[in-house]
Structure 1
Amino acid sequence: MTDADCLSEALKAISVSTELIEEELQPHLDTMLAALLEKKKDAAVEIAGSGILPTLAQALRSKSCLSCQVALVVAEMAREAAVREPCIEAGLVKVLVPHLSSNNQEMLLNTGRAIGRICFDSSHQQDQLVQSGVIPRLVSIIREYPENEPLVNVCLLALCNLADMDSARDALTDLDVAGILTIQLKRAPDAERRHIILEILGSLGESDESMQKCFGEGSSLVYQDVLSWLQSHNTQLQLSGALAIANFARNDSNCVKMLDLGVVPHILTLLEQHVDEGDVSVQHAGLSALRNLAIPAANKVRMLEDGVTERIKTLLRSDMPPVQFKLLGTLRMMVDGQEEAALALGRDAVLLARVMEWCEAKDHAGVRGEASRLLAALIRHSRSPEVVHAVAKADGVRHLISMATSEHVIMQNEALVALAIASAIDIESVKDPFREAELLPMLKKMLEDPVGAVEVKFSALGLICSLADSNVMKMELHSENMKESLSALTEHSSSKLASQASSILATLNDTS
């Protein structure tokens, strides 16, 4: 009799049996298991289609001495995606879950594998598992058998698969699982295991409540471990450490506390290690952490005093767009509301030259946008003739004018405000670039745009008002027939906009 015939006979014998007699079931289970372990073609599908799944469910429900072997059969069957739904329909998941409370490690391993494979791609079943209280059991198993590598691995895989669900994150937070995970991380045998653990920890960091519990005011073991990851030589740990700091830095009090605890030098050292031929993901995550830490105004001042901007400027030589993008955003955050920082960066010819290159990045719109936004920020926050002159000399004015026509209202406003400040404090430096880039026709079109945002029109009026204070530009405003556009705006439904237009119109009429 061939192996295929043996399997068919075994399935037939089980399917016609009216009573579940363990001694009779045992050899048939052996036959099924042999076929599955030997990877016989379509064995799993044949078993699932034979109608014996309810019998297997009954064997598991009765918690007989065959339960462990039945769980192994189900686990091996469930490697095949095609049989997972039939397993669910036969109620196998429901009868397997109680076996996670077994004190038999082999039973736990087989049960964990069976449940994990059946529910791998079923969000409904995963939700049912969480509702049935499987998370505390998985954590308890890891705690009880920390050195059983296969069993720990199965539990970690299951937690990783569930951890993206809000309900699972809540359950994990209540269990203080981060400490258990960091212990497992230290004894992880390979990169794959570390990756699984770090994925779970990363998911915890995405929830405010669990993130705060992990942070523990900076005194938790988890936070101490995160600091050690930043100083590790392992790129995987460095990346996770930087991402964790960026997550912890989602609220101001955590940011201030981490600065007090001295996290910034660790991040800077990490970034410097990866400047040349380094890991892009680590640089990106490190800059994200710095940017978040710099959001509170008090932190900006302290970070500037500690020379953060000088040290991260070493990343200017990076040729990786994700790093360029994040560096520009971090520098922009550092100068926000900080006159001295904006002045220092705005005078830096090397920085400006690099920013100009990025303003023209052909293949990365994000880098182009962030480069222009940094230019605007340098002018807006320094309000310095030196910076305006330096930006104009570096040929940056045309990029600001281009930014003023962006599809993003926030960028349009930033550009228009920067141009208004520039023209108010150093019109001589910017008048020629204004002409070359045809600024006035652009402003006229902006005012006349029937679907243009009110706030953009208001910022455009602010720039026109600034230009009207210059005799040279005033004449050009007349030549462009700007009064016609302003007159139309005096009837605008926004009283604030209409009033501003009337005021500028009066200024132009007084000198016509």
Structure 2
Amino acid sequence: MDEATGLLSKLKSTEPLRQQEKIISQLIKLVIEINEDDDDTDECAVQEAIMQSEAMDLLLTHLQDDLSQEKESLLAACCQLVAELAKTETLREPLVNRGFMPQLLRHLPSTNIALATQSCRALGNICYDNDLGRSAVDKENGIPTILNMLSKQIENSEEGAARLRIIVCGFLLNLTNNCELLQDKAIDNGVLDLLNDTISRHLDDEDLTNMALLTVGSITEADSGKAAASRSGLLDTLKMLLDRESSVDLTEMILELLTGIMESEPAKEMAAENGLCKSLVSLIQSESLSPEVVKMASDVFISVLVGDDSMEKLYASGEGQLFLQSVEWLSSDKDHLKTLGSLAIGNFARRDAYCQQLVENGILEKLISILKSNIGPEASFTLQHAVLSTLRNLAIPVSNKPKLQAAGVMDACLTLIHSEVMAVVFKLLGVLRMLIEGQEAAAMKLGQERTFLECLAEWCSVEAHAGVKGEATRVMASLVKNSRSTAVIQNLIRAEGLVHLVAMATSEHLVMQNEAVMALTIICSVALGEAAVSLKEAGLSSTVLTLLKEQTLPSEMVINVLSLLKAVTASASPPTPTPCALLACTGLMPDVRRNLREEIVSSGVVDQVRSLAEGHGDVKVKEQARSALNIMEESMSTG
């Protein structure tokens, strides 16, 4: 502290310029030493003492003076002292408030490398995590000034120019980081084209490349930046860098950057056209890269396939080189390649025509083989998840469903029902639901799998994984809808599954509500005698009343609920049985059905239906409500 005080006392405007520069240089050396010494407790005190001294007024005066060649060295020293002070967070805003920003920007375009470098350092340090500094640069229309400076320095071979290019990129990074306004302004002024030009002209300068890519990452945080990246030629340059076998750190940075840029559809399409995916495949198949880098490259590859246009380009009617490579990976002896191949095929299987072609060309056998060989405690859950995701997509086209069933997809899936990994179970249920949709025989077969149904009922209660819980109840509803079988319904009753269907009827998702109501209507139509006790215990009557009272329920859904009500009340009042029928009945069924009906009637449902019949705005709802009311009144009178 004493050294700083002594130097500051000597720094006077009356001193010769050379002497002033010498003292400023000594101050710079002192501040640098303090900045580098993490244990120095006097850091803030020394920095603040300099900041509060008259020396800062002298620095500002020099920076405001007309530039002359004899003062360039002194001005560079002034800027450097500001740059070192700005490394202290608490001094950044005071430097802005003292009016340094306009003067520093004024010297940024200097042809003197030292002056341009130090003014740029000062600006960059002040703007680091400092919105006030960024606003000050913006107020002076600084973006064009900075970019113009970088443009002029791109081909400069003068000593110090290489370092200056790095510092300018760093300034741009600090200026735009987490600041969408300045990111957009930089994009409008062509920053990505300029950064791309800078990188491509200095491919061997890894320090510059690193800094420029960090800046690109900042600029492309916003959607506008991602879209602009695909127009700038950056993807071609990034491909070139990957092909040059750069350092691991640089490769990771490029892949991380691509991960963000590939959120843009134009970027995906360009990546499918410019050969970037081939470069990614080279990384993926490398024996020397770490699993983490390979995973990053794989993720970028899949993100390209997520785009519709890019996927179609790479599929190329089933002849695309990268599509064929994906198929080949399915036969690899390495799990990560089989996983990637499965994920890739799953993305190609997003169009019905491609799904049909894939099945016709024998892809099922490969996928089923992977699934059957990847079971047990040592199994790769990631691989299971990937294969199941692909099988679900392949099962969507109606024409494929019987083919998947015939190939043994359902049987292969059932070998995984004891998995404790909920992400795998979720995909497993998705495959099975697609397989039985519209397929009576498949629904009948699955509905006879007692062990599966027991697991299904358990999954319907998994609170820790909402996806599994929802998918399980949807599979249960689908089993009822597609089989319409008393035997299947009886199996669901034994598995204690009906309570979940009743609960599903009040789901927050309308689609699931409707699926549950339709399944319950079928159950009440074909097997109410067997299901009545379970439905009563599950609270069917209060559920129906809740749904009918829901003011925002769409008319179509209200009509379906009324159909369910009709199915319950109509079935609860069977006609007088014939002698043969009496022999087939237990004698308890009519009483059970009657008890359920009476509970529904006493719950207030009749009054709610009457209200709908009289006052609902939809004519079709009124008609259905009247019909339901007639049936209920008739059943009460005959009860």
Report TM bin, short chain: 0.7 to 0.9
Return 106-115 or 471-480, whichever deviates more. 471-480
Q: Distance in 2 between matches of 1:206 and 1:428?
A: 55
Counterpart pick for 1:20 among 51, 67, 77: 67
Query: What corresponds to 2:622 in structure 1?
Result: 498
Deviation at 1:203, TM superposition (A): 3.7
Q: Which residue of 2 aligns with 1:103?
A: 155
Partner Cα separation in structure 1 for residue 228 and residue 559 of structure 2: 50
Provide the rounded CA distance (Å) in 2 between the counterparts of 1:509 and 1:166. 61
What secondary structure, in the 3-state scheme, does the structure 2 residue paired with 1:361 have? coil
Contiguous gaps of at least 5 residues in structure 2: 9-23, 28-49, 157-161, 331-337, 344-370, 575-589
**Conserved in 2, the CA contact under 8 Å of 1:376 and 1:418?**
yes
Distance 1:30 1:478 in 2: 93
Distance 1:207 1:507 in 2: 57
Q: Which of 105, 108, 112 is 1:57 aligned to?
A: 105
Equivalent position of 1:433 in the other structure = 534
Distance 1:80 1:242 in 2: 31
Aligned with 1:139 (options 196, 211, 215): 196
Counterparts of residues 344-359 of structure 1 (less than 5 Å): 345-359=446-460
- Correspondence 1:24-63 to 2 at 5 A: 24-30=71-77, 32-33=79-80, 36=83, 41=88, 44=92, 47-63=95-111
Residues 203-242 of structure 1: pairs in structure 2 closer than 5 A = 203-215=260-272, 221-224=275-278, 234-235=291-292, 237-238=294-295, 241=298
Deviation at 1:465, TM superposition (A): 3.5
1:268–1:210 Cα change, 3 Å: closer
1:172/1:449 Cα in 2 relative to 1: closer, same or farther (>3 Å)?
A: closer
- Offset of residue 258 of structure 1: 8.9
Check if 1:75 corresponds to 2:106.
no
CA distance in 2: counterparts of 1:246 and 1:352, whole angstroms: 36
Kindly state the Cα deviation for residue 116 of structure 1 after the two structures are TM-superposed. 0.8
TM-score of the pair, normalised by structure 2: 0.66
Query: Which residue is equivalent to 1:89?
Result: 139
Structure 1: stretches of 5+ with no match in the other structure = none
Equivalent residue of 1:2, what SS? helix
Q: Per the alignment, in what secondary structure is the counterpart of residue 108 of structure 2?
A: helix
User: Are positions 1:395 and 2:496 aligned together?
Assistant: yes
Amino acid at match of 2:178: D
- Rounded to whole Å, the distance in 1 between the matches of 2:216 and 2:424 is 32
Matched residue SS, 1:170: helix
Aligned partners of 1:246 and 1:289 also within 8 Å:
no
The answer on whether the counterparts of 1:267 and 1:286 sit within 8 Å (CA) in structure 2 is: yes
Q: Greater CA radius of gyration, 1 or 2?
A: 2
Cα deviation, 1:206-235, whole Å, max 9, x if unaligned, reads 33443344345xxx6344566677778725
Partner of 1:2: 4
Change beyond 3 A, Cα 1:208–1:499 = farther
What letter corresponds to residue 85 of structure 1 in structure 2? S
* Displacement of 1:24: 2.1
Tell me, in whole angstroms, the C-alpha distance in 1 between the residues paired with 2:200 and 2:442.
50
Q: CA deviation at 1:139?
A: 2.5
Cα separation, 2, equivalents of 1:420 and 1:407: 20
Letter in 2 for 1:16: T
Q: Deviations over 1:382-406 (max 9, x none)?
A: 4444543333322211111111122
Distance in 2 (alpha carbons) for counterparts of 1:318 and 1:258: 37
2:389 and 2:427 in contact (8 A); partners too: yes
Match for residue 368 of structure 2? none
How far is 1:114 from its partner?
0.5
Distance in 1 of aligned mates of 2:382 and 2:141? 43
Higher relative CO (Cα under 8 Å, sequence separation at least 6) belongs to 1
Q: In the aligned structure 2, how far is the partner of 1:224 from the partner of 1:411?
A: 43
Deviates most, 253-262 or 375-384:
253-262
Change (3 A) 1:48 1:487: closer
CA distance in 2, matches of 1:331, 1:36: 64
1:410 maps to which of 511, 514, 522: 511
1:24 maps to amino acid:
K
Residues 284-330 of structure 1: CA deviation (Å, up to 9, x unaligned): 78876776676555676776666666666676555455565565456
1:377 alignment partner, one of 478, 495, 513: 478
Partner of 2:176: 119
Q: Give the 3 Å change call, closer, same or farther, for CA 487–347 of structure 1 in structure 2.
A: same
- CA positional deviation for 1:380: 2.9
| RMSD (Å) for aligned C-alpha atoms | 4.4
